[in-house]
Amino acid sequence: MVSFKKCAICAIFIASTLVASTHKWGYTGHEGPQHWGELDSEFKECAIGKQQSPINITHEIEVHKGELEPIEFHYDSETTHVINNGHTVQVNMADGSYIIIDNKKFFLKQFHFHSPSENEIEGVEFPLEAHLVHVATDGSLAVVAILFEEGKPNLVLDHVWEHMKEEIDSKVDFHIPAKEITDFLLPHDRSYFRFMGSLTTPPCTEGVRWFVFKEYDTVSKEQVQEFLNVLHHTNNRPIQRVGERKVFY
């Protein structure tokens, strides 16, 4: 049986966009990340959690585990909508795409973007980060993260950006095959860093499997600026304490 807590987590990603709560939050001022834990009792984990995301991945916390289990990507469906929810630009997926990790299927529900990046590598911040959000039937979450460094424009981003609107809660039909995501968004080398963390937005729920690709994708300076022009603000949560966690690679 799926617990109430896990069902609530599912609702965050399946029912709408990133957040199921009606309480307003943001990235600046009294609604910014430093105050999330105070805004709503449902957000308390943002303040008291012990395994919060994002983190700075450094040599000091890395543990070499030999060859980690590869993530099996089975992306067979297409995208359905591009949504500006005021916090990010999100692309929803039709049912059918999934990954297999830990002998378990996690279904791709959506992917969205943060600028600048939320996770860092050895203290280096990247201009953009994509989060591919997957949910298992028991409510478990797995996030695959792609870091972008400045360089050539990205084809998938070009197609998404063409459909994103400045109006908050805008929802635009958007259809590209999953093969385009696999070929032009996922890196060719799919080795990764792995750690346990949380949602990077309220309610900051923990117990999320994080997989951060070690190979970077590229994004042009113009693409980053276009994204920020639509949001009108940066949307990265500050780095969180690692605590006793380790990052496996």
Residue carrying the six token digits 């635009």? 172
CA 141 to chain centre: 11
Count Cβ neighbours within 10 Å for each residue of 12-28 and write b for 16 or more, e otherwise.
Answer: bbeeebbbbeeeebbbe
Question: Beta partners for 90?
Answer: 83, 112
The per-residue pLDDT for 7 is 46
CA 162 to chain centre: 21
Chunked into runs of 10 residues, the chain (249 residues) has average pLDDT values of: 44 42 82 97 97 97 87 97 97 98 98 98 98 97 98 97 96 95 95 98 98 97 98 98 95
The per-residue pLDDT for 237 is 98
Counted residue by residue, the chain has a size of: 249
Among the listed residues 30, 81, 87, 163, the single catalytic one is 87
The token pair at 193 is 């860093």
Domain segments of the chain: what residues?
Answer: 4-248
The per-residue pLDDT for 23 is 66
Contacting residues for 128 by C-beta, under 8 A, at least 6 apart? 113, 114, 115, 116, 117, 147, 148, 219, 223, 224, 227
Neighbour-count burial of 104, counting CB atoms closer than 10 A to its CB (0-12 exposed, 13-18 middle, 19+ buried): middle
87 is catalytic: yes
pTM: 0.92
Assign domain 4-248 to its CATH architecture.
Roll (3.10)
What's 20's DSSP letter? -
The per-residue pLDDT for 5 is 47
